[in-house]
Structure 1
Amino acid sequence: MNVIAELKNFVVAHTRSQGLPPEHYDPLLARIRHDEDGTPGSWVREWSDEAARLEGAGRLLEACVHYNMARFPFVDGGARQEALDRCVATFDGWRSGFPAIERLDVDLPEGRIRCWTSGLDAATPRPLLVMTGGIVSVKEQWAPVLLQLAELGFAGVVTEMPGVGENTLPYRADSPRMYSALLDAVGERADTSRAFVLALSFSGHLALRAALHDTRIRGVVGAGAPIHDFFTDTEWQRSVPRVTTDTLAHLTGSTPAEVYGVIKEWALDPEELSALRVPVAHVTSLRDEIIPPGDAVLLRERVHRVRLLAHDDVHGSPRFFAQTRLWTLLSVLRMRGGYAEQRTALTREFARLRYSGVGA
Structure 2
Amino acid sequence: MPFIWPLDPQDLFAERYPQMTLGLPADEVAAVRAVVTEMWPDRPGGWVHEWSALAERHAAAGRPDLAAQAYGWAKFPSLADGPKRIALARQAEQYRLAAPAFPVEFERRTLTVPYGGGTGTTDVTVHLMAAPGLPADAPVLLASGGVDSWKMDLHGLWVRLALALPVRLLLFDLPGTGETSHLPMTPDGGAGVIAGLVAHARSIGGGMVGHFGISMGGHYAARTGLGGTVDAAVVLGGPVERSFARGRGFAFGMDGIVGNALGFDALPSTAEREDAFAAFDLRPLLDQDANGPMLVVNGADDVHVPQHDTLVFTGRRATDVHLLPGTGHCAISKMGEAMELITAWLRKTMVE
**TM-score category, normalised to shorter length:** 0.7 to 0.9
2:138 maps to what in 1? 126
Q: Does 1:223 align with 2:233?
A: no
Q: Indicate which of 71, 75, 82 corresponds to 1:71.
A: 75
CA contact (8 A) 2:225 2:293 kept: no
Gaps of 5+ in 1: 339-360
Give, in whole Å, the separation in 2 of the partners of 1:319 and 1:151: 21
Q: Deviations over 1:238-276 (max 9, x none)?
A: 2x2152111111111234311221111211117625524
Give, in whole Å, the separation in 2 of the partners of 1:117 and 1:147: 14
**TM-score when normalising by structure 2:** 0.86
Q: Does 1:38 align with 2:38?
A: no
Secondary structure in 1 aligned to 2:112?
Answer: strand
> Which amino acid letter does the alignment assign opposite residue 137 of structure 1?
S
Q: Does 1:87 align with 2:91?
A: yes
Give, in whole Å, the separation in 2 of the partners of 1:308 and 1:149: 23
Q: Deviations over 1:19-39 (max 9, x none)?
A: x34333122111100013311
Give, in whole Å, the separation in 1 of the partners of 2:172 and 2:153: 10
291-300 vs 318-327, which deviates more? 318-327
Deviation, 1:46, is 0.8
2:63 maps to what in 1? 59
Give, in whole Å, the separation in 2 of the partners of 1:22 and 1:317: 19
Secondary structure in 2 aligned to 1:141?
Answer: coil
Give, in whole Å, the separation in 2 of the partners of 1:46 and 1:150: 33
1:113 maps to what in 2? 124
> Which amino acid letter does the alignment assign opposite residue 20 of structure 2?
T
1:326 maps to what in 2? 340
Show the 5 A alignment for 1:105-254: 105-108=110-113, 109-119=120-130, 124-144=136-156, 145-146=158-159, 149=162, 152-167=165-180, 168-174=182-188, 175-191=190-206, 193-213=207-227, 215=229, 217-232=230-245, 234-235=246-247, 237-238=248-249, 240-254=250-264
In structure 2, relative to structure 1, the CA distance for the partners of 1:303 and 1:252 (3 Å cut) is farther
Deviation, 1:102, is 0.4
Number of corresponding residues: 332
**TM-score when normalising by structure 1:** 0.84
Secondary structure in 2 aligned to 1:26?
Answer: helix
Cα RMSD after superposing both structures: 2.4
Deviation, 1:130, is 1.1
> Which amino acid letter does the alignment assign opposite residue 241 of structure 1?
A
In structure 2, relative to structure 1, the CA distance for the partners of 1:172 and 1:97 (3 Å cut) is same
Deviation, 1:155, is 1.6
Give, in whole Å, the separation in 2 of the partners of 1:163 and 1:112: 13
CA contact (8 A) 2:251 2:303 kept: yes
Q: Which has the higher contact order (CA 8 A, sep 6+)?
A: 2
In structure 2, relative to structure 1, the CA distance for the partners of 1:96 and 1:147 (3 Å cut) is farther
CA contact (8 A) 1:270 1:298 kept: no
CA contact (8 A) 2:10 2:33 kept: no
In structure 2, relative to structure 1, the CA distance for the partners of 1:273 and 1:179 (3 Å cut) is farther
Deviation, 1:68, is 0.2
Give, in whole Å, the separation in 1 of the partners of 2:21 and 2:289: 36
CA contact (8 A) 2:313 2:321 kept: no
Give, in whole Å, the separation in 2 of the partners of 1:265 and 1:67: 33
In structure 2, relative to structure 1, the CA distance for the partners of 1:336 and 1:273 (3 Å cut) is farther
Secondary structure in 2 aligned to 1:188?
Answer: helix
> Which amino acid letter does the alignment assign opposite residue 305 of structure 2?
I
